[in-house]
Structure 1
Amino acid sequence: MATSLSIVSLLGSLTSASAAMAQSVAGYYETRPDAGGARNRMCIASGPGNTLAVDIESAYCPGPSPECYNARLGSIQFNARLAGHAMRYDDGHGCRVDITFRRSGARVLQAAHCRGAQDYNDLEASGVYRRVKPEVDDRDCAP
């Protein structure tokens, strides 16, 4: 009986630690302005089932098509689990996003593979993001 109580207690602590870690990375992030003054923005909030809901503005994943020429800037939205200080999203169609969290922000690496991608550098979300607002409503960036 004591063993089952300690397992339940351990699972409860792990769930609490996971929720605390997710809360510690939630918020609004943005990059420094580029030469034209534009910034990439990212929102992270608690998602369903111990995941985080991520919304990265001004980015593009090519989807099932290998073409980039029909690309329209929009946003990448996904749910992913936090593992340590990092998370990964892979849509299975050539778009992968890796996010590593640091004390004052996050580093985002995006690999979006499509034909002619060298002509579409502005479609990627890669960069260093500074956390500008820690408070975020769960509905603000849920996919």
Structure 2
Amino acid sequence: VAPVQVQVSGCYKITDFALRYSFRFMELKELSLSRCHQITKQGMEKLVTSCPALEYLDLSECPQINDYCVELIAQNLKRLSTLKLANCPLVSDVALGFLAQYCKNLKYLYVRGCHKLPPDIMERLAKITTLRQVYKS
């Protein structure tokens, strides 16, 4: 039986290689990779296709997560309802456009410490009718 939830927060040894070859859970619902500093866009490219059923994804304090990673997430994880990107310094207002365009089921967005984001986040995400809360400050 495949797991429904995997939490490897703070595991500094998780790399793109691990995401490519170890995370193949088609029905995985929740994944926490916060503080996994070695994850890059290459790992995210594989993750979004290997775990398409994700509803909850925590990438907080992953310093290499950028707008391209958010684009991959938004385009591929159609069931995503919670996305945590707190303290991801490379995430900018470009990412908001991808979320607004593709994340039709997003309810909760955590972007505390993403200093490249503009103050008018809620206006930019107005297209997401399911959005309940954005945690910015």
**TM-score, normalised via structure 1 length:** 0.22
Q: Which has the larger radius of gyration?
A: 1
**TM-score, normalised via structure 2 length:** 0.23
> Hey, which of these two has a bigger chunk of helix by percent?
2
> Hey, which of these two has a bigger chunk of strand by percent?
1
